[in-house]
Amino acid sequence: MTGGSGGIGGAVAQALAADGMSVVVHYSGSAERAKEVVASIEARGGTAVAASGDVADADDMTNLFDIAHERFGGVDVVVNTAGIMLLAPLADLDLDAFDRMHRVNVRGTFVVSQLAARRLRSGGALINFSTSVTRLQQPTYGAYAATKGAVEAMTLILARELRGKDITVNTVAPGPTATPLFLEGKSDELVGQIAAASPLGRLGTPDDIARTVAFLAGPDGRWTNGQVLFANGGIA
């Protein structure tokens, strides 16, 4: 899985391992966090290995799939949580920032999805990541939401292109989730306001998102295909 060292990504890796899967924990920047996720999985009796790479680089991602094949015999589930978010009003956003997001969020998703389409075994699952901001239409999120709209489009089309292969393709679109990255720089008052927007009266947790992914990755999710699942507690 890509982005496995992040807050949501780490939770997803641990949830899949708890369900009995061997996990390749990908990282691009933080080797230490990825190693911590692997150590946590192994401490609970699971199997995992950390591997680095640029999600937008086809050779790096081919190597990631090769590691999964060599270590574990093949690829049954691909979860693509890697992404970056750079915020500014559309009129003010630096185009270099837009290009960076496009490279990771759109090209990266495309590269990983293309390899998944070629290398997932029958009965497999690809799970990409979008965001509930595509529905919320919040100011300053325009460029980021645009990249995730592209993720949704390619995911839903790929699900139909893989007809007959017994491979499901879905996207998870989290709402506000209490990760360190989300909470950074926000006052308690602002966090409270965001939490109150949900009918459930709280922020999501990484484990909430991880269990949604585990459902799609496991046997109970086999009839869910070509969908965007908004895992947001009803905020949108």
Distance CA 170, CA 160 (A): 11
**Active-site position among 27, 144, 182, 230:** 144
Confirm if 56 and 30 have CB atoms less than 8 A apart.
no
Tokens of 36: 């911590």
27 a catalytic residue? no
Amino acid at 166: D
Residue 98 exposure: Cα atoms within 13 Å on the Cβ side: 14
Q: Round to whole Å and give the CA distance between 82 and 51.
A: 13
The count of other CB atoms within 10 Å of the CB of residue 236 is: 15
Classify residue 170 by burial, with Cβ atoms within 10 Å: 0-12, 13-18, 19+. buried
Catalytic center residues: 144
